Copies of this chain bind each other. A is one copy, B any other.
């Protein structure tokens, strides 16, 4: 069998971008648990000649609290290496003078402290989980429908994620709900928005064809990275489902059983 195309490109790689939930750790009680081998895999990547960044659509905590959680699990990781949607959204809101009505997780509200929120002229939704009550979704809808042109920002467009022993609905599902209710299309902040991936590439100072994205979300991690010109590899952990490997529109450049296997393969091919 021919080697998957991503292995051919490993030698010319300059940087790797890792998704977090489902790649580094599994979400669950008490914040989650590391996926076996992932703590060590991150350590090995850091010790290599590759640049490393982390790219998450996590919007259930501030970036600081989220990184602290990963550190407690043993991951070598620091805040400036992590790209998440909320700070990107704050930058957009300020740049365009927008005042959001927020429908986000309580723990991520502090990220928006510096943004004016009275008399809202747009809506921002994140992975609000239990806060996605009928009443809260209706309140966001009423803000949107009261605007001359509804303006909705969605912190990601994921469908679901794995937590403990089950799948949980993600923000994208509520984005679709509001899009339909208001005849509008949301602006996605976070993966798979190309501007979001581009920020990470800019920060590493490398072009897309020298970067590899590793994620458990076929459409948002792998497909999103591929649209930007990167290679995308899917891990068979996290929200991975076997049917992903016969997806009608997105085909990963490679599949690995987990992050440890991906890093093994990369470092071996590079002679490290």
State how many angstroms separate the Cβ of A158 from the closest Cβ of chain B: 10
Residues of B within 8 A of A128 (CB): 134
Residues of B within 8 A of A141 (CB): 160, 167, 169, 173
- Stretch in A118-126, A175-183, A203-211, A225-233 touching the partner: A175-183
A95 at the interface (CB under 8 A from B): no
Q: Are A168 and B132 in contact (CB under 8 A)?
A: no
Q: Are B169 and A176 in contact (CB under 8 A)?
A: no
Residues of B within 8 A of A137 (CB): 132, 169, 173
Kindly supply a per-residue 1/0 record for chain A positions 102-116, scoring 1 wherever the CB is within 8 Å of any chain B CB and 0 otherwise.
Answer: 000000000000000
Interchain CA distance A130-B178 in the complex, whole Å: 16
Interchain CA distance A181-B178 in the complex, whole Å: 14
Q: Are B142 and A166 in contact (CB under 8 A)?
A: yes
Residues of B within 8 A of A135 (CB): 130
Interchain CA distance A159-B132 in the complex, whole Å: 17
Q: Are B168 and A181 in contact (CB under 8 A)?
A: no
Q: Are A142 and B130 in contact (CB under 8 A)?
A: no
State how many angstroms separate the Cβ of A267 from the closest Cβ of chain B: 36
A residues in contact (CB < 8 Å) with B: 128-135, 137-138, 141-142, 145, 159-160, 166-169, 172-174, 176-181
